Amino acid sequence: MVTQSQIVEWLKVFACVIEHHKEDLTELDAAIGDADHGINMDRGFRKVRSILPSCANKDISDTLKTVSMTLISNVGGASGPLYGTWFLRASSATVDKEELTEEDMLKLLQAGLDGVIERGKAQLGDKTMIDVLSPAVDTFEQALSQGLGTLPALRQAVTAAEQGLKNTIPMLAKRGRASYLGERSIGHQDPGGTSAYYMLRSLLEVVESPGR
Ligand code: ADP
Ligand code: MG
């Protein structure tokens, strides 16, 4: 079971990871975009971190919704509305849940992915965060169908996400600013895919050590 306090902890860990990798994310975006992905994400998640204490009395769904609203109003670029949508759908998928079972977690991850696809219209292979989020959801679902619980399923999902991220390197970008580069986008890792990988890895980190 994933609890409300683990969700808050996850958001805190993710915000710290983003802060730590701000320059790297911006460097990745400098290669195929406009060099602001680290700045955008850090701006948003710094704000998220500052409002987390006010989420202590909220339930999981309301917490995720607050994160969504914070991102939408503080982050520009493509990533603000896309991550905002991910968290909004995650919120809708967890209404009235006190804790999240592995099935609830699958619904959360699937809803977030579906939201990003609807909003951004990217497909698998377009060199976006979808190339990380989608294999993670598929792998998580497969793991559950094999009878695994949240932690081992999440471990497999994060491994799939990492592979998905590496797979973005040889891809030609078909969405977002990187698509303006055409062939020149080949050979670079997708910045939004990188932050999406950090998001899932942070979740795993918190679920792995609940007493942290
Ligand atoms: P911007 O491109 O507006 O400068 P960011 O640099 O913050 O925004 O984010 C860029 C990242 O957003 C990309 O690396 C990619 O992963 C993601 N992205 C861009 N467009 C889309 C889309 N249509 N669908 C999904 N993800 C997208
Ligand atoms: Mg950018």
Q: For residues 162 and 197, give the distance between their C-alpha atoms in angstroms, rounded to a whole number.
A: 6
More confident residue, 76 or 117: 117
Task: Find out whether the beta carbon of 132 lies less than 6 Å from any atom of ligand 1.
Answer: no
Task: Find out whether the beta carbon of 116 lies less than 6 Å from any atom of ligand 1.
Answer: yes
User: Collapsing DSSP states into helix, strand and coil, what is residue 3?
Assistant: strand
Distance 117 CA to ligand 2 centre (A): 18
User: Collapsing DSSP states into helix, strand and coil, what is residue 124?
Assistant: coil
What is the pTM for the complete model shown? 0.98
Cβ contacts of residue 77 below 8 Å, gap of 6+? 34, 36, 37, 40
List the domain boundaries for the chain: 2-208
**pLDDT greater than 70 at residue 12:** yes
Q: Are 13 and 5 in contact, with CB atoms under 8 Å apart?
A: no
pLDDT tens digit string along 62-108? 999 999 999 999 998 899 999 999 999 999 999 999 999 999 999 99
- Picking from 193, 4, 203, the residue whose alpha carbon sits closest to that of residue 82 is 193
**pLDDT for the residue numbered 212:** 64
pLDDT tens digit string along 136-180? 999 999 999 999 999 999 999 999 999 999 999 999 999 999 999
Reading the block at residue 56, the tokens are: 């202590």
124-132 average pLDDT score: 98
**pLDDT for the residue numbered 44:** 98
Q: Are 41 and 79 in contact, with CB atoms under 8 Å apart?
A: yes
Atom of ligand 1 nearest to the CA of 120: 23
- What dotted CATH number matches 2-208? 1.25.40.340
Q: Are 198 and 17 in contact, with CB atoms under 8 Å apart?
A: yes
Instruction: Tell me the ligand closest to 79's alpha carbon.
Output: 1
pLDDT tens digit string along 194-203? 999 999 999 9
**pLDDT greater than 90 at residue 56:** no
Distance 6 CA to ligand 1 centre (A): 28
Atom of ligand 1 nearest to the CA of 176: 20
Mean pLDDT of the chain: 97
